[in-house]
């Protein structure tokens, strides 16, 4: 009881996106902005304050243009709410910049710097609240305080497979010494056929994988968004706890999860296809499954393999299910787009295929589903109920999937384009996924 209480009061686990900390930061930030804006003297009120505000507005517009029109690191552009909070942070810095030359003593300068810092902290907190990227300090600090184990690559002498027409759970008898939790390990998944250069991925092995005979478990390939990284699913996604919870309810059984890198860096976007940009599809549809089969003992066949992802990764999941149906029999498209994109259709076709519309249409999901049926493929489309950008796109793609005779579901989750939706999309569909892949009945 004492240990549990101490853990509950661990500051690392205090919520950052709701509750007293979030509101205290918000109040402190607005109070700091007000204190920076209010000063004595006509010169401040009539000249310096308007100049500070004008500079902040100009710099915010410059950031918006630089990111969305020049750099274009993400296809959907900066959300308007994010732009507003960036502008708020810039306003705090601008006000501080105009206030500091008027102060000769260090205590006053320190207070102005502190106020500017609180304004920036508030803006950062509000962006975090919008995406729920770091729900606690533990998640925020995970790259420094977290750790993963070493992947077990030892092959068991005896294995256990699901009977024909049955499920693995029907023949599974967990040993008395079965571990309570699974393991997560950082891995490098090479791309010998695709020559695709990637960052480290992760593999979750459920408790049942440690048993003898070893059950041949289904595989879920999980993809991050862009910008993003595989560790997003480990940290912000809470993958380990999510899968361990499912395993605890199913006698140690759960899918093996392989979190792969579909882009190679946070800012790259090869559209998850084979094009003149890269052979991303070959990497995800051949190199990753080949590595899994050679490294681990898993169930085989498309019925036992699924792919899922968020945003860019959701679009990619649907692409793989349609362009490599012999590999992936099921998918979960979370807040995906209506087509692979670099920001515009014209730019995408030009960069990937030199302007060849037919080459793009040959691999684009909506075009594929318009000319071919996929009755043996099942999927779930998930999107936030308040997501005004991605919900219409998901609805369009879902309608195309229905017309293509796919066994699909459309689910709305409370939220926006954020991790509350992304986490629920996987956690709430683990039973469906496990039934679909022959793990449980």
Write out pLDDT tens, residues 379-396: 999 999 999 999 999 999
pTM summary value: 0.90
Residue 440 has pLDDT above 80, yes or no: yes
Mark whether 99 and 210 lie in a shared domain: no
More confident residue, 176 or 71: 176
For the segment 158-165, the average pLDDT, to the nearest whole number, is 93
For the segment 124-138, the average pLDDT, to the nearest whole number, is 92
For the segment 270-287, the average pLDDT, to the nearest whole number, is 96
For the segment 415-436, the average pLDDT, to the nearest whole number, is 97
Mark whether 233 and 121 lie in a shared domain: no
Mark whether 228 and 104 lie in a shared domain: no
Where residue 172 sits, what CATH number does that domain have? 3.40.50.1820
| Tokens found for residue 249 | 């309810």
- The total domain count for the chain is 2
Query: Which pLDDT value is given to residue 194?
Result: 97
273/226 Cα distance (integer angstroms): 15
What is the distance, to the nearest Å, from the Cα of residue 429 to the centroid of all Cα atoms in its chain? 16
Residue 40 has pLDDT above 60, yes or no: yes
Give the per-residue SS3 of 53-64: HHHHHHHHHHHH
Residue 1 has pLDDT above 50, yes or no: no
Residue 226 has pLDDT above 60, yes or no: yes
Mark whether 300 and 228 lie in a shared domain: yes
308/330 Cα distance (integer angstroms): 9
Residue 5 has pLDDT above 50, yes or no: no
Arithmetic mean of pLDDT over the chain: 93
In a domain, 148, yes or no: no
Mark whether 164 and 33 lie in a shared domain: no
Residues, the chain: 441
Query: Which pLDDT value is given to residue 2?
Result: 44
Q: Which of 131, 146, 164 is the last residue of a domain?
A: 131
Residue 99 has pLDDT above 60, yes or no: yes
Mark whether 23 and 62 lie in a shared domain: yes
CA dihedral (185, 334, 221, 235) in degrees, to 10, reads 0
Place of tokens 């999927």: 379
Residue 77 has pLDDT above 90, yes or no: no
Residue 6 has pLDDT above 90, yes or no: no
Mark whether 205 and 102 lie in a shared domain: no
Residue 249 has pLDDT above 80, yes or no: yes
Give the per-residue SS3 of the chain: CHHHHHHHCCHHHCECCCCHHHHHHHHHHHHHHHHHHCCCCHHHHHHHHHHHHHHHHHHHHHHHHHHHHHHCCCCCCCCHHHHHHHHHHHHHHHHHHHHHHHCCCHHHHHHHHHHHHHHHHHHHHHHHHHHCCCCEHHHHCHHHHCCCECCCCCCCCCEECCCCCCCHHHHCCCCCCCCCCCEEEEECCCCCCCCCCCCCEEEEECHHHHCCCEECECEEEEECCCCCCCHHHHCCCCHHHHHHHHHHHCCCCCCEEEECCCCCCCCCCCCCCECCCCEHHHHHHHHHHHHHHHHCCECCCHHHEEEEEECHHHHHHHHHHHHCCCCCCEEEEECCCCCCCCCCHHHHHHHHHCCCHHHHHCCCHHHHHHHCCCCCCEEEEEEECCCCCHHHHHHHHHHHHHHCCCEEEEEEECCCCCHHHHHHHHHCCHHHHHHHCCCCC
Query: Which pLDDT value is given to residue 305?
Result: 98
267/74 Cα distance (integer angstroms): 7
Instruction: Kindly tell me the burial class for residue 29, based on how many C-beta atoms sit within 10 Å of its own C-beta (0-12, 13-18, 19 or more).
Output: buried
In a domain, 257, yes or no: yes
In a domain, 147, yes or no: no
Residue 98 has pLDDT above 80, yes or no: yes
In a domain, 272, yes or no: yes
Instruction: Kindly tell me the burial class for residue 67, based on how many C-beta atoms sit within 10 Å of its own C-beta (0-12, 13-18, 19 or more).
Output: middle
| Tokens found for residue 162 | 């699901």
In a domain, 161, yes or no: yes
Q: Which of 28, 46, 35, 42 is nearest to 99 (CA)?
A: 35
Query: Which pLDDT value is given to residue 267?
Result: 83
Mark whether 114 and 196 lie in a shared domain: no
| Tokens found for residue 373 | 């049926």
Q: Which of 355, 283, 267 is nearest to 316 (CA)?
A: 283
In a domain, 3, yes or no: no
330/301 Cα distance (integer angstroms): 12
Mark whether 294 and 430 lie in a shared domain: yes
In a domain, 297, yes or no: yes
Mark whether 53 and 177 lie in a shared domain: no
- In the structure, what pLDDT confidence band is assigned to residue 68 with cuts at 50, 70 and 90? confident
Query: Which pLDDT value is given to residue 45?
Result: 86
| Tokens found for residue 52 | 């500070």
53/378 Cα distance (integer angstroms): 53
Mark whether 423 and 378 lie in a shared domain: yes
Residue 437 has pLDDT above 70, yes or no: yes
**For strand 407-413 and strand 378-384, is the pairing parallel, antiparallel, or unpaired?**
parallel
- Determine which of 130-134, 238-242, 300-304, 331-335 has the lowest per-residue pLDDT on average: 130-134
Mark whether 104 and 188 lie in a shared domain: no
**What range defines the domain where residue 314 resides?**
154-436
Q: Which of 142, 164, 162 is nearest to 241 (CA)?
A: 142
In a domain, 139, yes or no: no
Query: Which pLDDT value is given to residue 7?
Result: 52
Query: Which pLDDT value is given to residue 8?
Result: 56
| Tokens found for residue 412 | 């709305």
414/153 Cα distance (integer angstroms): 39
- Beta-carbon contacts of 285 under 8 Å, excluding residues fewer than 6 positions away, are 320, 323, 324, 327, 328
Q: Is the peptide bond before 213 cis (omega within 30 degrees of 0)?
A: yes
């Amino acid at each position: 009881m004492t240990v549990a209480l101490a853990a509950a009061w661990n500051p690392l686990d205090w919520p950052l996106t709701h509750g007293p900390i979030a509101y205290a930061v918000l109040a402190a930030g607005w109070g700091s902005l007000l204190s920076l804006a209010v000063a004595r003297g006509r010169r401040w009120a009539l000249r310096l304050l308007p100049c500070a505000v004008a500079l902040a507005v100009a710099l915010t517009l410059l950031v918006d243009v630089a990111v969305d029109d020049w750099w274009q690191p993400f296809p959907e552009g900066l959300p308007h709410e994010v732009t507003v909070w960036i502008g708020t942070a810039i306003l705090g810095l601008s006000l501080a910049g105009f206030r500091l030359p008027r102060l000769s003593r260090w205590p006053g300068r320190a207070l102005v710097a502190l106020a500017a810092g609180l304004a920036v902290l508030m803006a950062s907190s509000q962006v975090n609240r919008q995406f729920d990227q770091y729900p606690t300090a533990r998640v925020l600090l995970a790259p420094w305080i977290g750790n993963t184990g070493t992947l077990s690559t030892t092959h068991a002498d005896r294995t256990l497979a699901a009977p024909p027409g049955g499920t693995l759970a029907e023949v599974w008898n967990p040993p008395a010494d079965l571990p309570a939790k699974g393991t997560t390990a950082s891995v490098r998944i090479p791309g010998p056929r695709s020559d695709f250069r990637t960052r480290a991925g992760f593999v979750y092995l459920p408790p049942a994988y440690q048993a003898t005979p070893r059950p041949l478990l289904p595989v879920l390939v999980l993809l991050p968004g862009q910008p993003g990284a595989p560790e997003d699913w480990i940290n912000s996604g809470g993958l380990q706890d999510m899968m361990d919870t499912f395993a605890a309810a199913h006698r140690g059984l759960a899918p093996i999860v392989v979190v792969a890198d579909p882009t190679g860096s946070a800012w790259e976007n090869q559209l998850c296809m084979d094009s003149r940009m890269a052979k991303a599809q070959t990497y995800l549809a051949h190199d990753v499954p080949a590595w899994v089969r050679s490294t681990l003992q898993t169930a085989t066949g498309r019925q036992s393999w699924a792919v899922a992802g968020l945003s860019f990764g959701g679009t990619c999941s649907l692409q793989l299910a349609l362009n490599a149906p012999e590999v992936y029999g099921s998918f979960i498209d979370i807040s995906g787009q209506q087509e692979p994109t670099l920001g515009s259709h014209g730019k995408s076709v030009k960069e990937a295929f030199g302007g060849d519309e037919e080459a793009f249409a040959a691999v684009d999901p909506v075009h594929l589903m318009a000319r071919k049926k996929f009755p043996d493929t099942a999927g779930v489309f998930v999107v936030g109920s308040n997501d005004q950008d991605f919900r219409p796109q998901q609805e369009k793609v879902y309608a195309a999937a229905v017309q293509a005779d796919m066994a699909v579901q459309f689910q709305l989750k409370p939220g926006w384009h954020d991790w509350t939706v992304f986490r629920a999309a996987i956690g709430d569909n683990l039973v469906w996924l496990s039934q679909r892949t022959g793990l449980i009945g």
